[in-house]
Structure 1
Amino acid sequence: MNNDKNFFANVVSEMKKVSWPTGKEVVNYTTIVVVTVVFFLFFFYAIDLGITFLIDKV
């Protein structure tokens, strides 16, 4: 039981050292991730259409 209390005390201590992002940073990071995912979605869709077109032609 003592080890559990020590563990949770250490967790709390370490969480206080974490530097959390601001709200503006979270919005910026989220925007970058969404834009990147959408870009790659269209990129791989175009590649898939191209390969499908080439396979159907042969």
Structure 2
Amino acid sequence: MKKSFKSAMSFFSESWSELRKVKWPGRKELTSYTIVVMGTVIGVGLYFTVLDVIISHLVELVIR
């Protein structure tokens, strides 16, 4: 039990020291990254929506 507790404490201690080394993005960078991600998500969503509508129409034509 003591060994696993010691290992867990060591893990959290090392993790915390690694987090201190991270260069966190500033407000401007974070805003631009968020805009890029949201744009990509919207673009991919629209692409699959259009693809779904096209495939649905094709399947409907084949079934008739």
1:50 is paired with a residue whose SS is helix
Deviations 1:21-49 (A, max 9, x none): 01111001100000000001110000000
Identity value in percent: 36
Question: What residue in structure 1 maps to residue 39 of structure 2?
Answer: 35
Aligned to 1:48: 52
* Pairwise CA RMSD: 2.0
TM-score when normalising by structure 1: 0.78
Letter in 2 for 1:34: M
Alignment match, 1:13: 17
Shift of 1:16: 2.0
After superposing the two structures, state which structure 1 stretch, 39-48 or 13-22, moved more: 13-22
Aligned residues: 57
* Runs of 5+ consecutive residues of structure 1 not aligned to the other structure: none
The one-letter code matched in structure 2 to 1:18 is V
Residue 33 of structure 2 aligns to which amino acid in structure 1? Y
